Amino acid sequence: MRGFAELGIEKLRLTGGEPLVRRDIIDIVGDVARVPGIQRVVMTTNAYRLTGIVDELRVAGLQGVNISLDSLDRETFARITGSPRFDAVLAAIDASLEAGLAVKVNAVLLADQNVDQLDRWIDFVRDRPVAVRFIELMRTGGNGAYFAERHVRGTTVSDRLLAEGWTLRARGATAGPAQEYAHPDMRGRIGVIEPYATQFCDGCNRLRVTAMGDLRLCLFGTGSHALRDFLQRDEDRAALQASVVGSLFHKPVAHDLGRGDFGDTPHLAMTGG
């Protein structure tokens, strides 16, 4: 992280898998939050284990969380996730807000599952200062049939928001890929992540390092760039930086999801958000 920060990286997202299964997650957050140049540390989590340690994470340096919640209906949530922890996730959202964290809620758009729940989500953000982001289901190596059955375009949400008086917000320099909409009557925001949209990749500002120490230049690219050896010799930070910068010249201009090419990603859990 010191090497990346010296190259200009300002924001770090801890993701997975599920980062909260790490027994040392509070130490990890504290370590990376103290790296000079890192201005923001956030985490993507299912929030099952979050409520009990959210205050410790905030003190360690965590500033925001992205929490997965695919439905505001308890039975639908259980059907999608295979988990009965709906109430625990809602409690974690409220606990995170009380702890002073910035909260984003991620919901994957799924036909016949949650695409008809927009009214409930609008009520959800009416009094909560959270950003709900609807993510288009993405095709990977292992979900072809499911994708064909469940994929819904993000414009299903954005077109309705615009028709009902929501306005598109400007994106910050370190913001993620969501197009977020605001409404004067709402404390929260609603966003859409549309990976199949034209020019979606134009504002890409992300690099991913996997748990195996590989640099992934694109979530739907092919191959990776090994950085693990550099983790064993911190004094050779300049070599790490040269390796990272050199690899960036091979970063593709855009992914090819629209042409049915999802790279070598068999499923998103292998890389994370």
Instruction: Name the residue ranges covered by the structural domains of the chain.
Output: 2-203, 208-248
Question: What whole-number distance in Å separates Cα of residue 101 and Cα of residue 122?
Answer: 21
User: Pairing relation of β-strands 189-193 and 131-136?
Assistant: parallel
Do 151 and 111 touch, CB atoms closer than 8 A?
yes
pLDDT > 60? residue 272 = no
Mean pLDDT across the stretch 141-148? Answer: 71
Do 123 and 183 touch, CB atoms closer than 8 A?
no
pTM: 0.88
What is the model's pLDDT at position 103? 97
**Domain topology for 2-203:** TIM Barrel (3.20.20)
Mean pLDDT across the stretch 24-28? Answer: 97
Mean pLDDT across the stretch 254-259? Answer: 68
Q: Indicate the DSSP class of residue 254.
A: S
Q: How many percent of the chain have pLDDT more than 70? A: 89
